[in-house]
Amino acid sequence: RHLEASRDSRGSRDLSKRGELREDAAASPGRGPGLASAQGLPGEVEDGGRGRRIKAGGPGGFSLIPAHRLQGLNALAEEAVQSAEKPEPLASAGEVACSPQEGWRLGTLTLTPDFPIIPGPQAPVLRRCELPVPLHRRPVQAWVESLRGYEQERVGLTELHPDVFSTAPRLDILHQVAIWQKNFKRISYAKTKTRAEVRGGGRKPWQQKGSGRARHGSIRSPIWRGGGIAHGPRGPTSYYYMLPMKVRVQGLKVALTVKLAQDDLHIVDSLELPTTDPQYLMELARYRHWGDSVLFVDLEHEDMPQNAVAATSGLKTFNLIPAVGLNVHSMLKHQTLVLTQDQLCQGKSASGSTQQRSSHL
């Protein structure tokens, strides 16, 4: 009972002290209490004219803190309250013209001489997605470049269908299609002779009994050196098999999606080159960081530019193929894939005529 009475008296003393502190803070002519005290919670109050502030409500009771350390925190708290009460309106991207640092701070992109970046909504869209797009998805946008110079000149934007260029990166599908492309044309011509095809061995080497040696009927037996081969490869063996069409089409979509996500897929307005010199194509790839191997894809052999055909014919790692020959193995073997905008418009790029394209794999 004595301990309980002492605890009750101590608690009443603490409550009385807190009440006195709140009354003194309200009556002080200086700076008022902090945000916590304004809301009815224990906060920071002034301690008379001693130039110190008391931090109340802590787990250890009351503690004295110098006033100059709390001035910055109280100023930040007041600024936060004022900014929350009066929010500043944000300017649009077309109205703001500022430096690059200010543009990034405001979250806007502007077209200024010091900051020559074309924002997405203002860039010209050269091609819209012709196929219907689901409501819960958006078309994928990509830059359209030009091959008429070393610099990466961006002509505009093009829209790509999300079902083709924004699928899940299924590496198992890529492995299945790559192994199938490697094996479906494979023919093994290995062939070994059986004991019936080996020359000789028609006579019994020794008599059945009396010699003390093992019994043998022919020297061309599979257990003899120089004899026939048991269960060996027999003639041309084909490893041909067919993958389901859905798997083959999914492999094309995954390969295009991965190339686009890794920034290894580039779309150009055309394959027109200013010269037939292969050195120009190598310098262009080196200047744009395309890697050592590039695969150019165009519509048909008849529609391919002559300069591009002549430039790629002298290079082993720069190949030019028609759109009907685009396959997973070629895309994985080359570091960079270059498509034309006409191919996306007329060929529908791997989404419209998937059955015809998968049959040509």
CATH number of the domain where residue 313 is located: 3.40.1370.10
171 and 50 assigned to the same domain: no
The residue among 39, 64, 85 that closes a domain is 85
Residues 268 and 331 in one domain: yes
| 232 shares its domain with 168 | no
- Judge if 275 and 338 occupy the same domain: yes
Q: Tell me which of 27, 61, 85 is where a domain ends.
A: 85
Residues 6+ apart with CB under 8 A from 256: 164, 165, 265, 331, 337, 349, 350
Structural domain contains residue 131: no
Q: Terminus-to-terminus CA distance in the chain, angstroms?
A: 93
Residue 126 lies in a domain: no
Low-confidence ranges of the chain (pLDDT < 70): 1-74, 76-77, 80-131, 135-136, 301, 345-361
**Whole-model pTM?**
0.57
Judge if 221 and 303 occupy the same domain: no
In a domain, 112, yes or no: no
pLDDT at 222: 96
DSSP letters, 265-284, are: EEEES----S---HHHHHHH
Q: Note whether residue 102 is domain-resident.
A: no
How many other CB atoms are found less than 10 A from the CB of residue 184? 14
Q: Are residues 182 and 270 in the same domain?
A: yes
Torsion of CA 85, 91, 97, 103, to 10 degrees: 70
Is the same domain home to 323 and 248? yes
For residue 343, is it within any domain? yes
Asked whether residue 256 falls in the same domain as residue 324, the answer is yes
Q: Report CA torsion sign: 18, 20, 26, 31.
A: negative
Q: Is residue 322 part of a domain?
A: yes
**pLDDT recorded at residue 46:** 46
Could you read off the pLDDT of 240-251 as tens digits, one per residue?
A: 999 999 999 999
Q: Same domain for 322 and 244? A: yes
DSSP alpha helix (H) spans, the chain: 2-27, 35-38, 67-85, 100-106, 162-165, 171-183, 245-261, 278-287, 306-313, 328-333, 341-346, 354-359
Strands across the sheet with 52-58, in order? 44-46, 52-58, 61-66
The answer to whether position 324 is within a domain reads yes
Residue 22 CA to residue 37 CA, distance in Å, equals 8
228 in the same domain as 80: no
* DSSP state letters, 206-242: S-SSSSSSPP-S-TTSTTSTT---TT---S-EE----
User: Which of 31, 54, 85 is a domain's end point?
Assistant: 85
Cβ count within 10 A of residue 97: 14
In a domain, 293, yes or no: yes
pLDDT of residue 69: 55
DSSP string, 171-216: HHHHHHHHHHHHHTT-EE------TTTSS---S-SS-SSSSSSPP-
Regarding whether 194 and 66 lie in a shared domain, the answer is: no
pLDDT at 119: 46
Packing angle, helices 245-261 and 171-183, rounded to 10: 120
> Residues 228, 274: one domain?
no
pLDDT of residue 16: 57
DSSP state, residue 92: P
CA dist 115 and 50 (Å) reads 55
Q: Which domain holds residue 317?
A: 163-186+240-359
